Chains A and B, each alone.
Chain A
């Protein structure tokens, strides 16, 4: 009964490949997010969706494309993977999407690009 679940937990791939990370929340929340955590533990927002609509798109390369088929799912597709994409990617959700709301995080996907 995990609240925010993302798969896979580990992803090892070659440069140039395309990969996807899936995220699902069963909390009934309206808003979902993708965060990237680098090797220094710095956590940075990438995208946020509210009821399947893109709300925030920070300065992320076009190779990253989020897709929200419904408000319980927010997947992240990455094209032409680069070495610098190696990081831990976290999905999160919040009830409404009001700035400053408490966030619920998934357990992360560690992406290693070789």
Chain B
């Protein structure tokens, strides 16, 4: 069954604003990753946060993880038109054996110039 669920499904903001996307999951995880998918392209890894971490930064990206609520958020600060893409969270569930990452359905972000 699907592990991660992103929220909202779609988000439209003005350039320069911050964009926040959320991900909820169902079972305990080893780590959670965020990926970006530009239209017509493959997914690109953005950031990985481990289950014992609460917050991580990478450039304009800030990821938080709350394992008690089984949720994560991705914040993109000072958004640019080039940030327009779909964003997916992916989880590595504890005890999943060889099963690779399980992806959510993504949040479609539109940044309007």
Contacts and interface: CB of A to CB of B under 8 A. Distances in A.
Interface of A: 4, 33, 35, 40-45, 48, 55-56, 90, 92, 94, 97, 99-108
Contacts of A33: 100
Given A41-B108, A45-B99, 4 more contacts: A40-B105, A41-B106, A42-B2, A104-B45
A38 to B, nearest CB: 9
Interface stretch (B20-28, B36-44, B61-69, B76-84): B36-44
Given A42-B2, A43-B88, A99 B42 contact: no
Contacts of A56: 98-100
A42 B105 CA distance: 5
Interface of B: 2, 30-31, 33, 35, 40-45, 48, 86, 88, 90, 92, 96-103, 105-106, 108
B103 A43 contact: yes
A102 B90 CA distance: 10
Contact of B100 (A40, A42, A103): A103
B43 A100 contact: no
Given A42-B2, A42-B105, A43-B88, A102 B45 contact: yes
